[in-house]
């Protein structure tokens, strides 16, 4: 951990470098958070730079089929964003997976198959010429950029702050595969290097503590929601755009994949359609290979509307037009889309897994069903599809939580306060 505790900028200001695997316009909850935090800090008079990969989608980390952005340094809305070119090798994921079996923790973290490998970032993080006051990194399981942040913070002798966004999987099974992946010993070693670790739920707090991080270095933050980004949509325009049938609509917005529960949702809806229930399923967001394999053999494609990534206005119409929101995800540390659904008074259906399983209150603002139990998922969806008054009650309850529990300014202020304390020497770690 860093020993330096002096502000490098003018009195009371920070100069922070954020290192993260992707950055908007790349879509994702962690990407959105790092952008929100950057804009918040800039608005408070601090300086923020971002180092990231040139990946637009996750597949670009390891495949030439993935979409990328131009590499180089750009000023985006007042923030200097440096996008590093990704290394692409034939059979890269397979080779890295083999290499990651070598039981040396730094080597393992750097050679995980899903890593965004950026040789130029490695070279830059070996230099001591930068004037940053602190380095903030995320997120797991993409260990390469976090390790680069750790190297640079050590070189510059400045605090290292990590927001890991741990995915804990099935909350009833602490030994589940998802949790094991996100709490791998090589990743745990990274957390031990941090001066501060920011977590999103009490469950994540406990998981980080169990990995050996002292309580004084763990900070419960949580996420917020921007009402201007997700409310005020036109429900009629949304229904007309995505089918126009006068039946209940289940919405799902995610990187469509097995991890996000998209494939489970398809199967659950197939069960209900075969029972004669009339409704539509709208799947929004980019898709991953694990979803496309299921989609290829799905027999009821005509009952599913796939929108692809949504524009800002389309997202508003999406939330305005759906009747309930489903996110049976195994791999979310929080789930900002749940807040966006609640902001539109829509009830949520989730697995008892990770952030969503901790966030949604069963029978108060949504329904929580056993993780990996597709029959239970189908039953929960059926209950809400058949009971409009229950949908309205749960959606209204969720909406009432937004102003008092999920204000972005309050959440982001936690980061600013911790960073200032660390650099001024007021921290107790």
Task: Please check whether residue 205 is in contact with residue 197, taking contact to mean a CB–CB distance below 8 angstroms.
Answer: no
Which among 264, 270, 277, 265 has a CA at the least distance from the CA of 299?
270
Predicted pLDDT at 24: 96
Task: Please check whether residue 31 is in contact with residue 22, taking contact to mean a CB–CB distance below 8 angstroms.
Answer: yes
Task: Please check whether residue 376 is in contact with residue 350, taking contact to mean a CB–CB distance below 8 angstroms.
Answer: no
Which residues have C-beta within 8 Å of that of residue 112, sequence separation ≥ 6?
96, 97, 100, 141, 142, 143, 144, 186
Identical fold between 15-224+407-424 and 227-405? yes
Assign domain 227-405 one CATH number from 1.20.910.10, 3.40.50.2000, 3.55.50.30, 1.10.10.10.
3.40.50.2000
Q: Averaged over 104-129, what is the pLDDT?
A: 88
7 has pLDDT over 80: no
pLDDT tier for residue 426 given thresholds of 50, 70 and 90: low
Q: Which residues pair with 214 in a beta bridge?
A: none
Peptide bond into 78 cis (omega under 30): no
Q: Averaged over 74-96, what is the pLDDT?
A: 90
Predicted pLDDT at 408: 93
Q: Averaged over 337-348, what is the pLDDT?
A: 98
pLDDT tier for residue 92 given thresholds of 50, 70 and 90: confident
Q: In the predicted model, what is the mean pLDDT of the chain?
A: 92
For 269-321, the pLDDT digits (tens) are 999 999 999 999 999 999 988 899 999 999 999 999 999 999 999 999 999 99
Which residues have C-beta within 8 Å of that of residue 271, sequence separation ≥ 6?
374, 375, 378
pLDDT tier for residue 4 given thresholds of 50, 70 and 90: very low
All structural domains of the chain with their residue ranges:
15-224+407-424, 227-405
- The residue ranking higher by pLDDT, 134 or 64, is 134
**The pairing of beta strand 196-199 with beta strand 218-220:** parallel
105 has pLDDT over 80: yes
For 165-191, the pLDDT digits (tens) are 999 999 999 999 999 999 999 999 999
For residues 196 and 206, give the distance between their C-alpha atoms in angstroms, rounded to a whole number: 15
For 9-28, the pLDDT digits (tens) are 455 789 999 999 999 999 88
**pTM of the predicted model as reported, rounded to 2 decimal places:** 0.88
CATH number for the region 15-224+407-424 comes to: 3.40.50.2000
Structure tokens belonging to residue 399: 């909406």
């Amino acid at each position: 951990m860093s020993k330096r505790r002096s502000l490098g900028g003018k009195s009371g200001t920070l100069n922070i470098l954020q290192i993260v695997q992707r950055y908007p316009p790349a879509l994702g909850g962690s990407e959105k958070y790092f952008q929100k935090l950057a804009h918040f800090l800039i608005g408070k008079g601090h300086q923020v730079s971002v180092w990231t990969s040139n990946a637009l989608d996750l597949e670009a980390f390891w495949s030439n089929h993935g979409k990328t952005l131009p590499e180089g340094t750009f000023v985006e809305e007042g923030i200097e964003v440096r996008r590093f070119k990704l290394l692409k090798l034939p059979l890269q994921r397979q080779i890295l997976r083999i290499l990651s079996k070598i039981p040396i923790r730094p080597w393992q973290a750097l050679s995980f198959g899903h890593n965004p490998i950026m040789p130029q970032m490695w070279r830059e993080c070996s230099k001591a010429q930068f004037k940053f006051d602190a380095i903030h990194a995320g997120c797991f399981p993409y260990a390469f950029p976090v390790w680069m942040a750790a190297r640079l913070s050590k070189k510059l002798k400045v605090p290292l702050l990590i927001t890991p966004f741990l995915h804990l999987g099935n909350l009833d099974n602490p030994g589940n595969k998802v949790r094991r992946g996100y709490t791998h010993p090589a990743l745990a070693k990274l957390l031990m290097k941090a001066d501060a670790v920011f977590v999103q739920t009490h469950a994540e707090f406990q998981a980080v503590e169990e990995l050996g991080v002292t309580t004084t270095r763990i900070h419960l933050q949580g996420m917020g929601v921007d009402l201007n980004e997700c409310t005020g949509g036109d429900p009629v325009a949304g229904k007309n755009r995505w089918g126009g049938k006068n039946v209940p609509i289940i919405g799902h917005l995610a990187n469509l994949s097995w991890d996000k529960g998209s494939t489970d949702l398809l199967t659950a809806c197939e069960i209900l359609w075969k029972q004669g229930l009339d409704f539509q399923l709208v799947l929004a967001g980019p898709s991953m290979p694990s979803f496309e394999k299921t989609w290829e053999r799905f027999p009821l494609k005509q009952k599913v509307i796939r929108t692809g990534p949504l524009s800002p206005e389309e997202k508003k119409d999406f939330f305005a037009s759906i009747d309930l929101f489903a996110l049976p995800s195994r791999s979310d540390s929080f789930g900002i889309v749940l807040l966006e659904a609640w902001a539109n008074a829509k009830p949520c259906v989730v697995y008892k897994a990770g952030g969503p399983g901790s966030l949604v209150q069963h029978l108060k603002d949504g329904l929580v069903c056993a993780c990996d139990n597709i029959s239970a998922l189908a039953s929960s969806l059926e209950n809400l599809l058949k009971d409009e008054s229950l949908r309205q009650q749960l959606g209204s309850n969720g909406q009432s939580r937004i102003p008092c529990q999920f204000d972005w300014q309050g959440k982001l202020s936690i980061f600013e306060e911790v960073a200032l304390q660390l650099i001024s020497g007021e921290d107790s770690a």
